[in-house]
Amino acid sequence: MSSLLCSIVRQPSRSKSIHQPTKAINRFVKLFSSSVPRHKGLVLGVYEPGSEEGQFLLTPAAQKFNEQVSGKLEKVLKSSAGKKLKCGSSRVLYGIEHEDTEITSVAVANLGKQDVDFDEEEQIYQGKENIRTAVASAVLLLRNSGETTVEVETCGDAQAAAEASLLSLHSFDELRAEKDRKPSVNVTLFAPETTQGSHVAENWTRGEILAKGQNFARYLMESPANRMTPSIFSEKVSESLSQLPNCTVHIRDQSWAHSMKMGSFLSVAKGSEEEPKFLEIDYKGGKADESPVIFVGKGVTFDSGGISIKPSANMDKMRADMGGAACVAGSLQAAASLGLPLNIKALIPLCENMPSGRANKPGDVVTAMNGKTIQIDNTDAEGRLILADALCYAETFQPRLILDIATLTGAVMVALGAGVTGTYTKSEPIWNTIHTAGMITGDRMWRMPLLKYYSKQVTKADLADVDNVGKKKGEAGSCTAAAFLQEFVNTKEWIHLDIAGVMMNTDDVPYLGKGMSGRPTRTLVQFLELLSQQ
C-alpha cells in the first residue's frame, strides 16, 4: 500500500486499557500531561468538479492548507478514493503533517457544486443546506474518530457551518451512565479564516446562538414527562432566559388563570395532578412605545388524549407535545442573545392532558376568556383549547402581530409529512416574511387554506358557540383546527404554525440526528430578524 493511500486509512480507535491504572501511573500522567502533544481535528470544504473528468475544487481555506502541506491534500483528492466522495458526505484523512502540529486528522467535506444558491423548485437556499449537511457529516466523523477538539472552516458560510456543527453534536444522554454518553466536542472557527475587519467571526457566533436556541428546544422536548412537568418547564426556561439582557420571565399560577377566566385552558389541566402554569416572557429590545410581536406556544407537557385516550403505541412521544412552547422558548433565547431590536412577548400555557375523574368528558362545554363557549367532542383535541385562552390574552396587548405554534394535529403529518411546517394566515406580508425565513434556514414553511368552508365546520356546534373538532370529523383536521383558533383572534396580523409533522427527526434532516427536532426554532428567529428590518 502506497504512503498516499495510507493517509486516508483511519487510525485505530483510541481504546481504553483493560488494566486499571495504578496510582503511580496516575501521578506520572498528571506530571507529564502538560508536555504531551494535544491533538485536534480540522474540517475543510471542497466543491465538486464541473465535469466528471475534473478535480475537486478547494475552498480558500482548503487551498491555503494544501499549500502548507505541499499539495498533499489535493493529491489525496485526485486519487480514486477522493473521487468517491459524494455531496454532503465527508472523509477523514490522517498523516498529513501540518505546521500546526496539534492537527492530527483532517475531515474533507463535499459541499456540492460551487456557487449553488436558491433552488426555485425546492424553495430553499440549497448552498446553505449543502454546507450544513457536509459540515455535520465531517464533525460527526471526527467525534467518532476520538477527536474532542475540532476546528471548522467557514466553507463559504460561517453561520451555516456553525449551525451544522452544534446541531449535529447535540444529544440527549444526561440520563445515561457516563460511560454510555457521547463525548463532548469543543468546536471553534478555523482561525486562519478570520481576518481583521471581516464579519466571519460575527457570523460564526450568530450560527452558534441559533443552534443553541434550537438545541435548548430539543432538550425541553426530549426530556421525559416526569422530568419536564409544567413547573419544571417554567423553572428551566426562567433559569435560561432571566439572565439574558432585556428579558424578564413571569410564572403565573392556577389562581391567576382563574382570575383571568381562562376556563378553556383550565378545563384541560384539571384532569392531571400536576398544577398548570402560564409563562409570560418579555423581551424589550425595541422602543418603549412599540407594539410587541407575540409568540404563543402550546405547552402540553404530556398528552395522553384524556378520556379520548390515545393508543399506547408511541404515546411516549407525547412528552414532546409541548414542542410549540419549546420552540418559542428557544427562539426567545436566541433573539435576546442576538439583541434583536424589537419587543417580543411570549405566552406559554403549560399543563398535562390526563384522564381522571375530574378530566374533560366528550360533550362537556367550557367557556373561554373571551366569553365564547366551546363544546368538547374530543378531549384529545386539547391543544386548541389551551391556545384559545392564550390567544385571547394576547389580544389585550395591542400586538403588532400574533404567531401561535403547536404540535396540533396528526392531520398535518398526513398532509405534509416532515418536509415543511403547515402555515395558516390571511396576511400576505406575514406569509411572505416567514416563507422567506424558512428558505434561508432550511426549515421551510408551506401555506395551507384558511377558508370560511372550514370555519363553518367548527361553528355549527350542537350545544355551544364552537366545536373543538368540527362536524366533519376526520376531514381536513389541520385546517379545521386553524379555523377553530381563528375564532379567538381579532388581530388581522395573525399566523398559525402546525408543527406536528416536524416534531421528530429520523433521517429527514441530516444534520439533526434522530430524536426531537426543535424545528422550526431557527426559522422563528429569522422571522423576527426580518421583521426588525421592516
Sign of the Cα pseudo-torsion (237, 242, 248, 250, in order): positive
In angstroms, the Cα distances linking 503 to 85, 268, 307, 317, 418 are 31, 22, 24, 10, 8
Known catalytic membership, residue 310? yes
d(CA 340, CA 404): 20
d(CA 414, CA 418): 9
Q: Which of 85, 79, 54, 67 is nearest to 3 (CA)?
A: 79
Q: Residue 520, preceding bond cis, omega within 30 degrees?
A: yes
Residues with Cβ within 8 Å of residue 165, at least 6 apart in sequence: 135, 136, 139, 150, 152, 187, 211
**Strand, helix or coil for residue 163:** helix
Contact 299, 350 (CB under 8 A): yes
Q: Which listed residue (384, 444, 519, 522) is catalytic?
A: 384
Q: How many CA atoms lie within 13 A of 87 on its CB side?
A: 13
Q: Which listed residue (310, 317, 447, 456) is catalytic?
A: 310
Sign of the Cα pseudo-torsion (525, 219, 403, 415, in order): positive
Residues with Cβ within 8 Å of residue 131, at least 6 apart in sequence: 45, 111, 155, 156, 157, 160, 161, 164
Active site residues: 310, 384
